[in-house]
């Protein structure tokens, strides 16, 4: 089990730190936009209009499960579950991507969410309508392969937990 976790967490690093920094920029920017703009907007707000605390923020906004149900098939049977999974993979997965924490797992969930978005939601809107989801898909694919690189929490965890020398993490 430890070997599986080691393979999932341990990122591939490039020969020079500047290349890892270059690869970190799209991961960080994508993670921020997914967490704040795309995933965060699918949850309710934590305050009611009167300013009193409202536990409605624990619910997915009502338009999103209805949108999911329109996909048909299994999505119509469990729209709230799939709405939660999509919103959580964007919001939580985006935050994890931003931090470089559990990068490969977050990337896999984001990849699945973006494939559903492309084929079930954006397909009829043409290529221009699919571009945001396709961009997140591409970034999630390369982060699924490479991991966080040197500039992420996964790198720190793998160095401390698995006591991996710096050279064994590199691509070359």
Tens of each residue's pLDDT in the chain, 172 residues: 878 888 888 999 999 999 999 999 999 999 999 999 888 888 764 444 454 445 454 555 678 888 899 999 999 999 989 999 999 999 999 999 999 999 999 999 999 999 999 999 999 888 999 999 999 999 999 999 999 999 999 999 998 888 765 554 555 4
Q: What is the DSSP letter of 11?
A: P
Quote the CA–CA distance of 96 and 52 in Å, as a whole number: 30
State how far the Cα of 12 lies from the Cα of 14, in Å rounded to an integer.
7
Asked if residue 90 lies in contact with residue 110, where contact means CB atoms within 8 angstroms, the answer is yes
Q: Check: CB of residue 156 under 8 Å from CB of residue 99.
A: no
């Amino acid at each position: 089990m430890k070997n599986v976790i080691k393979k999932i967490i341990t990122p591939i690093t490039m020969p020079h730190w500047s290349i890892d920094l270059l690869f970190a920029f799209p991961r960080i920017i994508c993670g921020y936009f997914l967490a704040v703009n795309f995933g965060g907007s699918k949850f309710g707000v934590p305050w009611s209009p009167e300013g009193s605390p409202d536990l409605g923020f624990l619910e997915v906004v009502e338009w999103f499960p209805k949108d999911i149900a329109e996909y048909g098939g299994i999505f119509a049977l469990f729209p709230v579950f799939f709405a939660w999974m999509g919103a959580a993979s964007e919001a939580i997965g985006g935050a994890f991507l931003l931090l470089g924490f559990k990068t490969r797992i977050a990337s896999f969930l984001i990849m699945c969410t973006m494939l559903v978005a492309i084929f079930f939601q954006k397909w009829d809107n043409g290529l221009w309508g699919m571009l945001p989801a396709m961009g997140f898909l591409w970034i999630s694919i390369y982060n699924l392969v490479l991991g966080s690189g040197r500039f992420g929490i996964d790198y720190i965890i793998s160095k401390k937990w698995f006591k991996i020398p710096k050279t064994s993490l590199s691509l070359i």
